[in-house]
Amino acid sequence: MNTSIPWEWYRTFLAVLQEGSLSGASRTLNITQPTAGRHIAGLENALGQALFTRSQTGLLATDAALALRVHAEAMDNTARALERTAANFSRDRAEVRGVVRVAASEVVGAEVLPPLVARLRQACPNIVIELMLSNRFQDLLHREADIAVRMVAPQQEQLIARRLGRIELGLHATAAYLTRQGLPATLDDLASHALIGFDSATPLVRRALQAYPRFQREAFAMRTDSDLAQLSLIRAGAGIGICQVPLADGIIPLQRVLAADFSLYLDTWLVMHEDLRHSPACKRVFDFLAQGLQAYICGPQAS
């Protein structure tokens, strides 16, 4: 038997027992389902015991798993007590130091992360933050970045991923533009408005807009593949374009139009290489950004 089994494996084991499935455990722990499956497979291999069997209703615990449950629950209680004790023992986060590179899309990196980074730096002045802004996914496995904000669930098993929620997208314009051009009452009314959009649709954009065939390249009076440029055009009063709802509600602000007729969602994840989970600086930044981004997704009404 392997005597140095990671606690994360036992925590996933306990979550599967409680939820009855890998998908339920992954939702509870905010990890991906492949990661949960890898934890269970690793634990079974380390213990030399089958812990679950598959059935039509989910995963069924074996006798070995049921015998281990009480001990796993005791470990969970001890781990939580250790975390509380450590938090009470050392409140001074300024001692955490290091360089952490964070990758994000243009809009998230330029509009959403700066106030979070400013607050993080106040709490942890010895952490240096490097921001990489690009709509291309940075390769965390080869350490192009330490932490990334992504709009799709990662598939690599070596990555730690926490689902933050869904960012809603809607159509927005300035109040000045709508006063000048009028408020559209239906999607058909957009034909008489100046629309702002992409020049070359990416696969992600094409999938997102499948339900809205009106939003094609030819329909846009202003075209750019830069999300920041699109946002700047909307903000300048040039027309109607797509913007993140919590961004328009709380930071810019802009006026939403046709909320009942047009809505998109971006599944949002915070991702880090599993080798960095023991880095105090990376863990601190990861947890801080996760909390801040979840608050952003919920919108100003949650604060």
217-238 pLDDT, tens digit each: 899 999 999 999 999 999 999 9
Domains of the chain, start order: 7-89 (1.10.10.10), 93-163+267-302 (3.40.190.10), 167-265 (3.40.190.10)
In DSSP terms, 102 is beta-bridged to 131, 147
- In 252-279, which positions are buried (b, 16+ CB within 10 angstroms) versus exposed (e)? bebbbbbeeebebebebbbbbbbebeeb
Q: Assign residue 282 a region (left: φ > 0; alpha: ψ between -120 and 50; beta: otherwise).
A: alpha
Question: What's the mean per-residue pLDDT of the chain?
Answer: 86
Residue 219 and residue 242: Cα distance in Å, rounded? 13
Residue 189 three-state SS: helix
Give the orientation angle of helix 33-47 with respect to helix 7-19, to 10 degrees.
110
- N-terminal to C-terminal alpha carbon distance within the chain: 49
Give the separation between CA 181 and CA 221, rounded to whole angstroms. Answer: 14
**Which residues, other chains included, contact 78 with Cβ-Cβ below 8 Å and sequence gap of 6+?**
none
> What is the per-residue pLDDT for 301?
45
Q: What is the mean pLDDT of residues 175-191?
A: 95
How far apart, in whole angstroms, are the C-alpha atoms of residue 188 and residue 122?
49
Residue range 173-179: mean pLDDT, rounded = 96
Share of the chain above pLDDT 70, in %: 89
- DSSP SS3 for 183: coil
